[in-house]
Structure 1
Amino acid sequence: MLEEKNYEPPLISSHCPAIVRLIQIKFPELVSNIVPIDTPLDITAELAKKYVSIKTGIEKEEVGVFFLTMCSAKVTAIKNPVGKEYSPVDGAISVAEIYDSLRKIVKKDIEIDQELVIPGSPGLGMGFDIMGCDKTGIKECVCLSVSGIDKAIKILQEIELRKIPQLEYLELYSCDGGCVAGMLNVQNPYVTQVRFREVMDSLSGNGSNYELLKEELPKDFTPQKITLSPRPIGGLSEDISNSLRKLGMLEKTLSDLPRIDCGACGAPTCRDFAEDIVQKRAEIHSCVFHLLNSVAELTGEAFSLAKKIPYVKDKTKTKRIDGSEDY
């Protein structure tokens, strides 16, 4: 699209699901600027399934693809993709959950079936998780990369007012610092960004990622187009009394949320997320902060109950009902 110039600039990356939803709700006039093709994640998943299917003879529909993610918004995007019915990614696994186990495995000398390793430069796909147009395989152009939901809103406001006419491509991330700053990461995001760049350079070299991508994509590759449309902002209900009741529920739900508008749940703001909950489009546990607080409360209750487990006296030692012993 950048080569053909058949669009009204700037093109906006669809990589961050929270940003896409933000534009659909608060900047409907800019929906047509979002790149109307599959996200890099879904494109990679489709290519991986096709490759494994050819190599093994397994039906493509039977091949599972799971994404190791640092961002909880990607989990929401997999379950409820924007612009299409389903995502080719079958599930997501938190980096924080699997990091320690992977480190132990990586240190071991494990044989890998090279037939199932997709050929090419593996460092290319890492570029979308860090800020910087030079690493995402975009053709050289006037590009701007911005992170943080509040900064993204300010830039979108300026674009809506046509204040940056020279801009050709825009990368927006809801998390400050890019996807590496996601809540499911275990490392300092700035350290992660440096390491990502080092790994990418060692695997892909320092050349143009755009040229590398053109060489390595299959000749018959055609990305799937997606249909994006504004999300209408309607009332909570057509009935006034029901609308007032829901408004009270919305305010109560909002008071239980952190109000930091991180976008990790997939909604652009906490208020939009509260409305989704009231309208039964989302569940409150999609908020990472609320989920962590709930887990902490349950852990505290479990600890308090554990201390109340009665003792059973033995001759030489004290034994708890759960089998543990105190001498």
Structure 2
Amino acid sequence: MKITAGTLPLLTLTLALATAASAQSSSSLEVTVNTGAALSSAATRGISAPAPTSSKQEKQATSKTSTPAPNRGALASRAGRPQEPQAAPMTVTVRPGKVVFDSVAIRTARAATSKMLSTATRGQTLAILSEMDDLYGVLMVNNTIGWVDKSAVQLLDYNTEVTLEAPKEQPRSAASGLAERGGLDEKQRQVLREAFSYMGAPYVWAGNSRSGLDCSAFVKNVFSTVGVSLPRHSGDQITQGRKITDTGELVAGDRLYFAMKGGGTITHTGIYIGEGFFIHASSNHKCVDVDPLFKTYVNKLVAIRRD
């Protein structure tokens, strides 16, 4: 019996989110790409973008013959925090449970109105970590806990001990050193430091916290730390700040807006960090990461804003 520990729900979620679309406001092309030698050379020298962080965790599972009930109330002191998935211990005893509904939502908190993490489908085996009232706490692949209705899950008659790989410390990338270089004012440094503190945070469409967020939430949250209040959606964020119309004028801390599907509809955003690179919550990397601007992304750049 293979316990998925939330792997399939998260994969299902990723596929579902890939087909979702949010309403974005239109914007005409307003950026002139400066191809001068100085910027072109800066865009290609010296700094390599870090490799994307994998969202998969290695798992080991061994079976026991005892049949105790799930770990009732073990996480009760943390289970009630709204809107945030709970961090699971590194070694846990779980109870396998089969999904008996065609589909059932796994949510971030116990409230029925809380945000949905993913959807589990009939026959899927979940790792039940705890129970609370009419809900089971499900161990997810990223070491967090989601909540599912008890009625949708049939417990199996044994427990399994699961040892999860401890999170590895995010190595300091060469790009993150840009926050400490000379020539930046304190506001720019603060923006870059905050942005790099999100490195490796999972990309989650419509997410809004370090446990998972999308591109516009990332930009909004970073700039809130320097007193800049931005709208939630990228298409609305360009109403704030000073327009910059030439990429040759880019400075660290400028906000970048892209029409990834062509036309003028903004569908992505990030923050310029200097030396031809920008940081963003990337659906391609599935996390917050750094990419070169002047390779492919610049062709989709439609707006720049400075606060």
TM-score range, shorter chain: under 0.3
Higher helix share: 1
Quick check: which has more Rg, 1 or 2?
1
Relative to total residues, which structure has the larger strand share, 1 or 2? Answer: 2
Q: TM-score, normalised by structure 2?
A: 0.25
TM-score (norm 1): 0.24
